[in-house]
Chain A
């Protein structure tokens, strides 16, 4: 998909006025946001299990080089192929080579955000291949020519009425907005695709270094079919999506399922170990694992941001974020939206380019509480702002906002000297008389504060300040 976080403000403005979207987002957050919090409470170990999960993930990230080496060895031992892709283009090119080598015509895909990140579908289609998304939400989005607006619920921005019209148009069924009938129609269309596909593409929730297999989680069973029915299976994984041993899955998948959909465990958890052996009836003839860096090494090398690699992409943070709840996923201009997107998108695609993503959040902290791994997303939003305020060579960040910088420089002079501080307040108190209405409140502030009074009144600075008027002043 096209990465365009610079359109955040404009798209957000549109989104808040879209009542259909507002209803959909409110419903999503009401259901999943609260449900996830309750599901953490239901854990036999209690919500503190999140801290344990954080330890497991941190340990894996700290030993990423060793784990990835072991994973590659073990996948190859199981008869699979491994390719380390430095960037998105290398991953796409390698996949195209595989399609040529195996004479592929038709592809079915299980849900994978990393393939959205690298723009895989467009490249495959350009090469003349038929690509079908098989996750129901992704299928809807693909038929509509859109991009996913949520990491787990890609078509959350569409109503069943709109989906009914879309299916009537694209699948040739008569119009209905009845979800079971619509799902049945998609199922029928997708079965044909599964049976005729030469290649299945999947993502990877977490690979296991110890055994050399990947594990994928879904609620529709589509990933299992995509990865076992076609004769070739290609799995894409971000290089951080790995765990050391099988035991780690227990805690991580229980928390992933709770974070994603408030479930104790997802409907399908598949452990895929490579191509079928001679004594097996099912499974692909060939298995390829493409491990993608695409900017992750740079994140790994930075102590301030390394923790974000612990993310397991459950989207729990989207389901509680009050900003996501108002603007939806498309505003972020990236496959990764919501709080996790506000951190990952700038780190992967440019801190300057995506500045509205981390500046346009309120730091309310709901994301950290919802995160099954307890990742400090608010802290990283502040660190991204710091990079922008100070500039950073390593991240190619240019300091841009001269006026903001000036304001804080002057502010810093004032806060350390009470006389200057009081002088500024007196001056502001004088200037505000030009903006104060007959009723004694401010209805219109000048730039750069005008945003406030677009929708809110402001009380003026008092002529009788508290501290100087206090009898207890020291």
Chain B
């Protein structure tokens, strides 16, 4: 069930304290494209589709700004992560097969959620390890599935999207994006180029927020204690906005901030990168 051997641990150069990051998949190698003409299929994440549509729209707008053609496969549902992480492999496999059928003819697949990308890239091969035909199809899809900030920075080589945002911004590093895919610098590079945005680091930005899928519902006391630490670190950073690359974690943080009646804004990185910010921050309201 290993994510594979390879590089173990690297130092991120943006952190003055020598932030140490290992990664359980050892950070994926992503190649830079020479010409960025490939069409992008948006893999929206079920949570974005159903609860946070403005994040999906922000992703569409970013690609529009970059003149990159996109499509959004209408048949997509869920990648299967909830079932896989709960140990329901046959059910996860059903979702995975559907995902592969929907996306395998896409040129590139981009998703605004690190954990979903981790599922497709690293857990699909586990699910299909004894099914030869499906294993190849899963690997083929996994190879061209990217997390949004990883796609922008590592594949397209874009850091400045001409966006503007006035505020102090702090980043929560989602576990699967950071340890699983090696995503740490990418959102920071992008935010550093946003005019008016001041990036402030919170303590333990790489520590789990306590979401953990069904964990948050089944072990609410532990989960709450964890998200309270996260909230405290956000507040102590002095930031007025917290951003991330995964709506699941942000839903948890936002849900707690909302209950505590805090006015700290929660946003997906994509929303900050949109020019003129049409969608505004995530609130508990629709």
Where the two chains meet, the residues of A that have a C-beta atom closer than 8 Å to any C-beta of B are 9, 12-13, 16, 34, 37-38, 40-41, 46-48, 50-51, 304, 322-323, 326-327, 356, 359-366, 368-370, 374, 376, 378-380, 382-390, 404-405, 408-409, 411-412, 414-416, 418, 421, 425, 439-441, 443, 448-452, 454-474
Contacts and interface: CB of A to CB of B under 8 A. Distances in A.
A156 B27 CA distance: 34
B95 A415 contact: yes
Interface string B61-105: 000000000111111111010111111111100110110000000
The A interface, classified by DSSP as helix, strand, loop or mixed, is helix
Given A326-B226, A382-B1, A449 B89 contact: no
A440 B286 contact: yes
B256 A362 contact: no
Contacts of A365: 23-24, 175-176, 179-180
A455 B259 contact: yes
B219 A322 contact: no
A70 B72 CA distance: 63
Interface stretch (B4-12, B143-151, B154-162): B4-12
B172 to A, nearest CB: 12
Between B50, B60, B76, B285, the greatest number of chain A beta carbons within 10 A of the residue's beta carbon is seen for B50
Interface stretch (B193-201, B204-212, B234-242): B204-212
The 6 closest A-B pairs by CB, nearest first: A385-B87, A362-B212, A379-B1, A456-B255, A466-B56, A369-B22
Contacts of A48: 7-9
Given A362-B175, A362-B210, A467 B216 contact: no
A404 B71 CA distance: 35
B210 A451 contact: no
Contact of B74 (A46, A386, A418): A418
Nearest to B285: A440
Contacts of A418: 74-75, 77
Contacts of B89: 386, 389-390
Nearest to A409: B91
Contact of A40 (B9, B50, B207, B283): B9
Given A369-B24, A462-B53, A9 B219 contact: yes
A362 B221 contact: no
Interface residues of B, number: 88
A50 B77 contact: no
Given A452-B255, A463-B286, 19 more contacts: A12-B219, A34-B20, A322-B210, A359-B215, A363-B213, A379-B2, A383-B1, A412-B83, A416-B95, A441-B258, A441-B285, A451-B218, A451-B220, A455-B220, A459-B251, A465-B49, A466-B50, A469-B53, A470-B57
Contacts of B211: 362
Given A467-B76, A474-B71, A408 B83 contact: yes
B221 A462 contact: no
A285 to B, nearest CB: 46
Nearest to A378: B24
Contacts of B72: 466-467, 470, 472-474
Nearest to A461: B50
B209 to A, nearest CB: 9
Interface in B32-50: 41-42, 44, 48-50
Contacts of A465: 49-50, 53
Between B80, B179, B211, the greatest number of chain A beta carbons within 10 A of the residue's beta carbon is seen for B179
B245 to A, nearest CB: 15
B30 interface: no
B186 interface: no
A248 B41 CA distance: 50
B222 interface: yes
Contacts of B80: 415
Contacts of B283: 459
A364 B86 CA distance: 14
Interface of B: 1-3, 5, 7-9, 11, 18, 20-24, 41-42, 44, 48-53, 55-57, 60, 70-78, 80, 82-91, 94-95, 97-98, 175-176, 179-180, 207-208, 210-227, 229, 251-252, 254-256, 258-259, 282-286
A326 B85 contact: no
A381 to B, nearest CB: 9
Contacts of A327: 222
Contacts of B49: 465-467
Contacts of A463: 286
Nearest to B7: A48
12 contacts: A34-B20, A51-B8, A326-B226, A366-B175, A369-B21, A376-B2, A383-B87, A385-B85, A412-B91, A458-B284, A462-B51, A473-B71
A361 B215 contact: yes
A112 to B, nearest CB: 30
A130 to B, nearest CB: 40
Nearest to A448: B217
Contact of B48 (A13, A359, A441, A466): A466
Given A362-B210, A366-B179, A472 B60 contact: yes
B26 to A, nearest CB: 9
Nearest to A405: B88
A438 B259 CA distance: 14
B256 to A, nearest CB: 5
A411 B83 contact: yes
Contacts of A390: 87, 89
Contacts of B86: 385, 389, 404, 408
A415 B80 CA distance: 8
Given A467-B74, A472-B71, A41 B285 contact: no
B1 A452 contact: no
B87 A382 contact: yes
Contacts of B24: 365, 368-369, 376, 378
A363 B217 contact: no
A236 B107 CA distance: 59
Contacts of A16: 221-222, 224-225
A374 B95 contact: no
B95 to A, nearest CB: 4
A451 B212 CA distance: 13
Contacts of A454: 220, 224
A322 B217 contact: no
Contacts of B252: 456
Contact of B73 (A449, A466, A474): A474
Contacts of B87: 382-390
Contacts of B48: 466
A38 B20 contact: yes
A361 B50 CA distance: 26
Contacts of B2: 376, 379
